[in-house]
Structure 1
């Protein structure tokens, strides 16, 4: 059973994509949103100075090289880290699994096949394992 004094692993700030912030030649701020499978930093400009540049829907996943080429030169800005509880990160990961599985298998779990339920439970267990205390005796 876990206690509140146990430490859960979180992504160190230097590895967090949100730690990477750039300002382009027009003054727009680009923030890290993730990584490509190849390890390239992905950026988005969540609040462009010109509202017409915002577009609709999901942001295009720009790599740092693409942003540099299209909107450079870039100036690296200092990111002010937000304190994030590991429990909140875990909850977001669990919600992402839920959303993906509901989109893929349908909204009624009772209608899922046994294999679909097993896949769902396996992914939920993997998220819990990722945030489980490491090296703590039970």
Structure 2
């Protein structure tokens, strides 16, 4: 009779099942949950003693879809900032007139709408990230 060790538990198991990764995982899956499917299996058997099988959970891909989406997201400056910088630059140079700003009104309104939509979208994303459970990532992000 073998002993399977998992998260501080010692589980007695038939040698035939404990000696085969797939059979072992199938036998334990209903009792230990889905994380057992990706666990690393190691076996040790000293002469004259029972086999000891150790299962160690692997860090799964949880959260990697969100991270991948963030990495693939296009980088852009909110159009409100671009328009504001352009107006301030022209104002500092003395090349903008009140009527020029009036002509820019439709562009300003459009930029504000895009900016407001982006702000709402960003707020929702931040709130979802704050509520998400922490997860170990298999990727190292430089700068953090």
Q: TM-score band (shorter)?
A: under 0.3
Higher RCO (Cα < 8 Å, 6 or more apart): 1
TM-score for the superposition, normalised by structure 2: 0.24
TM-score for the superposition, normalised by structure 1: 0.25
Structure with greater proportional helix content = 2
